[in-house]
Amino acid sequence: MAGRGRGSWVLGICVALLVGCGGPSAPDAAPSDVRRMLDRRADAVLDRDAKAYRATGRDTEADEAWDNLRDVPLDSWQYRLTGFERSGTRATATADLRYRIKGYDSEPLTTSRTLTLQERDGGWYVAAERPAKKATQQLWDQGPVTSVRGTHSLVLGVGRSERDRTTLREYADLADRAVPLVRGAWPGKWPQRVVVLVPKSLDGMAGLLGSPASGYQGIAAVTTGEAGGSGSAPADRIIVNPEAYGVLGDFGKQVVLTHETTHVATRAHTSQATPLWLSEGFADWVGYRGTGRTAAQAAPELRRAVQREQLPGALPEDDAFGFSGDAGKLAQAYEGSWLACRMIADQWGEENLTGFYEAVGAHKKRPGAVEDALRDVLDTTPEDFTARWRTYLRAELG
């Protein structure tokens, strides 16, 4: 008895030493549990299973997140856990979210997310999900998304009222008209369909772009995408500024959507070598092509400058296209660029205009790109081209 007791006492000391004095501790199973929970959450999104989705989150968070997301047509949705920090029953995780819009994205779009987690009854749940630091918002971060499909378009907008849906249908109709217009002007291969995102406000647009709203005042829409169009990237997104777009008339709205659709079409041939005067001017040329608008009608700011004997001395530099508070100068940059492309179409022909665009974009670097394309496609020099453009401005706007 004494020996057994002494042996048991010694064994107890050894066990205590192993546990309390430097022995290996069991690994935290929480990250693995969270990964499995996020897999269930992703499956629920793709299966359109509201009950399963809500089972992964806190009631209020899950209801709101599901309502915001449920109308987005998705072909894939996947989380990859990239960071995990735990403090008791609470944790913060970061994850890469990869998703693909059904029928439009050839490859997933990746965005970084931060998730606030809560442990309850032995399981982990999402208390909040938001864009990670320095990541852009997704449209469903701004409210419930409504989707409207057109013949050549998918329009996603924030808001569920009947008025919201009617507005989104108008966008889809404009985009559906834009695609054939661009197809008639651009001979290159492109998907011939567009995704249009319509936030509620200028601030919403800025959130989707990850930039201050002040940089987009007066800009009706922008197009995001991968320069060079490798074919292994998500579809471009046309993002609308509803405040600037909303004040346009029917003609202006169509020109804007056609302009932005041109950026989608030309993406594979637009590179770091392409100056903004060419990419923006060409998109405006397609937007106005066939409308019958004269230079004086479509370039009022530049016309006033020309009539004041303030003819620009050179084509606009890239920084002229940033909104600095001077809407007149910004308009002149666009108008002068449009007229440069219009001049090429008038004097060298439309085929040479598209050939010039492709030749510039084919360069790997900006230096020499325009000069070489002017020589090889238009048989001219930068000096001669600029002089002809200035003469063209006087003739069309003077």
Please list, in sequence order, all residues whose beta carbon lies within 8 angstroms of the beta carbon of residue 251, skipping any fewer than 6 positions away.
Answer: 291
- 88 with 144, same domain: the answer is no
CA angle 267, 268, 274 (to 5 degrees): 70
- 253 with 157, same domain: the answer is yes
- Residue 374 burial (CB count, 10 A): 20
- 384 with 297, same domain: the answer is yes
Residue 26, φ and ψ in degrees, nearest 5:
-70, 140
Return averaged pLDDT per consecutive 10 residues of the chain, 398 residues in all: 38 33 60 97 96 90 91 97 96 97 94 96 94 96 96 95 94 98 96 96 95 88 78 84 95 98 96 97 98 96 96 96 80 97 98 98 96 98 98 96
What does the pLDDT read at residue 214?
86
**Do the Cβ atoms of 190 and 179 come closer than 8 Å?**
no
What does the pLDDT read at residue 21?
42
Q: Tokens for 23?
A: 């022995």
- 126 with 164, same domain: the answer is no
Pairing state between β 123-131 and 194-198: unpaired
Residue 10 domain flag: no
- Residue 285 belongs to what domain range? 271-398
Place of tokens 């990859």: 80
- 312 with 246, same domain: the answer is no
**Do the Cβ atoms of 194 and 237 come closer than 8 Å?**
no
Please list, in sequence order, all residues whose beta carbon lies within 8 angstroms of the beta carbon of residue 211, skipping any fewer than 6 positions away.
Answer: none
**Do the Cβ atoms of 357 and 278 come closer than 8 Å?**
yes
SS3 of residue 314 by DSSP:
coil
Q: How many CA atoms lie within 13 A of 92 on its CB side?
A: 6
What does the pLDDT read at residue 364?
87
Residue 111 DSSP symbol: E
What does the pLDDT read at residue 304?
96
Query: Of 393, 187, 359, which Cα lies nearest the Cα of 278?
Result: 359
**Do the Cβ atoms of 93 and 81 come closer than 8 Å?**
yes
How many domains would you assign to the chain? Answer: 3
- 276 with 397, same domain: the answer is yes
- 222 with 289, same domain: the answer is no
